[in-house]
Structure 1
């Protein structure tokens, strides 16, 4: 069960990065701004995730703080999808992450 939940959370992390890129590339702005936002937003989320949330994070946070950063990242992804005109997928992303994370924590997995 844990393996499936971990696999799902990895796919959700990829969906988070995709959502951020989608938002950037769909902005109602010139091509340079869309390119910067479409590449920069997922990069910023990936850097934050790598620094604070990955198993080999550069900054070791206590479990509650790590969970808060993860939740913030997924909330940002949900908001970005909503801003791109897709609020239901944004809500679904946040709910799917919350459910998967709750099941992982309930199973004793700190990931």
Structure 2
């Protein structure tokens, strides 16, 4: 039963990662009535987040170019997933922002308790 819960938590982590990209993209497309800005920020924002994750956090650090561990990894996750929550909040989606960050906190705590990367 614990194995199933761990797998669900790993899936939650994956969906939270996707959620960050969707949130930042959504925020970018709601930022301005100008289509050039919408495209630049709506596509560029997630691209920057993807680049940061690929460089420092991909695969729990195992697939990252410059893997972070310990407090540096914790700071990366707080900033990265927090960025997704802030993007939702800035888009006017307060409740989804709070739920998103609460799910991240739950996921992070369970990964620590279960020694998941």
Q: TM-score, normalization: structure 1?
A: 0.93
Q: How far did 1:3 drift?
A: 1.2
SS at match of 1:66: helix
Q: TM-score, normalization: structure 2?
A: 0.89
Q: How far did 1:39 drift?
A: 0.3
Q: How far did 1:60 drift?
A: 2.1
Distance across 2 between alignment mates of 1:39 and 1:85: 19
* Structure 2 partner of 1:58: 65
Unpaired runs of 5+ residues, structure 2, are none
Q: How far did 1:88 drift?
A: 1.2
Contact 1:23 1:81 (8 Å CA) reproduced: yes
* Paired residues, number: 110
* Structure 1 partner of 2:89: 82
* Structure 1 partner of 2:37: 33
Q: How far did 1:61 drift?
A: 1.7
